[in-house]
Amino acid sequence: MNKKKKGIDAERELIHLFWKSGWAAHRIAGSGSSRYPSPDIIAGNALRRAAVECKITKESSKYFSQEEIISLQSFAQQFGAEAWIAIKFPKKEWFFMNLEDMKESGKMKMIDIALAEMKGLNLSQFLEMKAF
């Protein structure tokens, strides 16, 4: 399976999990290729809205460019949503990471398994938290 299809399948998996949990969610097709900032998923309920960048990796860490983070923050601010990274590592559940909890790594931001397990929220914790 190619990398793009794996990413799309992961986004769709998360969409189904949101809907199953009582949240509305929509995948933004081509989010990485638009000239406007756009996350992979927008999701919400009557109390909260989230702009979510989804990542799935075979590695034990994932790096993000400053541009990716700024784009997500920009969309979230203009849309009135919380900005989150949803990341899935091999044999792990989804983790939801607050952008402020990401590690600095040179000009990049990074999330590894240890950081996700320490600072990240699982889906239930993410859905149950009060507005950020």
Q: Which of 21, 31, 65, 74 is catalytic?
A: 31
Distance (Å) of CA 29 to CA 9, 23, 42, 79, 123 = 12, 19, 11, 17, 22
Nearest Cα neighbor of 120 from 131, 128, 132, 112 is: 112
Distance between CA atoms of 20 and 98, rounded to whole angstroms? 23
Asked if 97 and 120 touch (Cβ cutoff 8 Å), the reply is yes
Asked if 98 and 84 touch (Cβ cutoff 8 Å), the reply is yes
CA atoms within 13 A on the CB side of 39: 29
Nearest Cα neighbor of 81 from 111, 110, 48 is: 48
- Please confirm, yes or no, whether 21 is among the known catalytic residues: no
* Catalytic annotation, residues: 31
